[in-house]
Amino acid sequence: MREVPSVRVAAHTAQAGARRAARRARRPVLRLRERFRGRAGLVAFLAVLGPGLIAGMAGNDAGGITTYTVVGAETGLTLLWLFPVMIVILAVVQEMVGRLGVVTGQGLSDLIRDRFGVRWTAFAMLVLLVANVAQTITEFAGVSAAGSVVGIPAILLVPASAALLWALVLFASRRTVERVFVLTVIVFALYIVSAVLAHPDWGEVARALVTPTLPTDPAVLLLVVALVGTTITPFMQFYLQSAVAEKGIGTDELGLERADAIFGAVWTNVIAAFIVVAVAATLFVNGIKVETAADAAAALEPVAGELASVIFAIGLFGASMLAATILPITTAFVICEAFGWESGVGKRFRDAPAFFGIFTFLVVLGAAVVLVPGLDPIPLIIGAQYLQGLLLPIVLVFIVLLVNDRRLMGRYANGRGMNILTWGCIGLVVILDVALIGSAMGEAVGISVG
């Protein structure tokens, strides 16, 4: 006899509840609210700060910085008005993901499996795995490019960087790893310094931020697509929810986690905007064309001085290192959640061998491929972006469906106003992704967009 849907739903819900209870039972006894009972304000916020900020800044990886660099070099300040829009989109998505992690105590792939079944989970994981492998390679390519600007050979810098981040995740506690990540995020502030050293016209910058201009040039339109697409990536959301669940943030700290998610969205796009300003005020006004962030760092020296060039390279290195760590961690989390294996930063290798094994494999592979003589990383970068673009709308729809499930979220489910805003943001992302994929297919069959 076939099991009726109501029975399947009840059984599914019971299994999910048991998994959430087991996960909560493994959390540290000293919860954040207990450690900081009686305290409020900044102290309480700093106790929760981390997942949203780190996830947001991980999107400013080597590919993201390259995109912002090209936008500044090709269009100047014309597209600066998009960054306030992207703050809203990223804040909406990260708030929902953070809320899912707080209320359920589960990672995103875990919830997808519980509510939509193994097949959808396997599909999402397969695409995410392939995309993240290619993206991890590009992050080590960013490390190599940053080193070349300051004269450090890749054969020395890439293996040393891989060994450093591997040891950090394998041997340090979760709190130590998170603190290092937050400190890495602070390195991005160097891009603000870089923009100041470029001496832009701040009046023009302010006007560009509030003056929307719709591009008609197909090439510029593709830059808009790339700009928005690089701001929200699936691995960011998988990492954020898993990190929130592992950190053990309770519903009484939900407001603080929301603040963390929104702060991450704001800080991420502020840094991106300053990158555009720095490049626009130096390379664009002098008609200098670049194709990569490393090109921009090198080109800044004769225009804005050696200090600006070095600062830009250090920012690229920090961005690449952060993403080169987050990507393998996220991939390991997702796969372990899908198969029910133990996972978590700060655990011992013997307690979570699959998690650390997958993490190690991706780090070693990413670093090794970059060191292959004569390898062109550009096809890998392009392929990773297309795969992330294909997966993103699917992941966003999963997120919205989950956060609207009142059996799962109860009173923390989305309201009508939030859903209107959410579906509007998703619709914009889908339109832009379709445009990007359509352009790629057109170029594949010989149709030029320029």
336-383 pLDDT per residue, tens: 877 778 777 767 777 788 888 888 999 999 899 888 887 666 556 555
Q: Is pLDDT above 90 for 207? A: yes
- Both tokens of 62, joined, read 């080597």
- Both tokens of 265, joined, read 């969205």
Place of tokens 């060191």: 371
Place of tokens 């290192």: 321
Tell me the CATH class for 37-443. Answer: mainly alpha
- Give DSSP secondary structure letters for 54-86: HHHHHTSSHHHHHHHHHHHHHHTTTTTTHHHHH
Q: Is pLDDT above 70 for 437? A: no
* DSSP state, residue 340: T
Q: Is pLDDT above 50 for 427? A: yes
CA dihedral over 121, 405, 90, 358, signed as positive or negative? negative
- Both tokens of 288, joined, read 């200098």
Q: Name, in order, each residue with C-beta under 8 angstroms of 170's C-beta and a sequence gap of 6 or more.
A: 349, 356, 359, 360
Q: Is pLDDT above 70 for 45? A: no
Contact 437, 386 (CB under 8 A): yes
What is the pLDDT at residue 205? 92
Place of tokens 């490393």: 294
Residue-wise pLDDT tens digits, 177-192: 767 777 777 777 878 8
Q: Is pLDDT above 80 for 53? A: no
* DSSP state, residue 2: P
61 to each of 7, 52, 268, 420, how far by Cα in Å?
A: 45, 16, 11, 30
19 to each of 83, 113, 412, how far by Cα in Å?
A: 39, 12, 20
- Both tokens of 264, joined, read 């991450």
Residue-wise pLDDT tens digits, 18-34: 544 444 444 443 344 44
Q: Indicate the domain borders of the chain.
A: 37-443
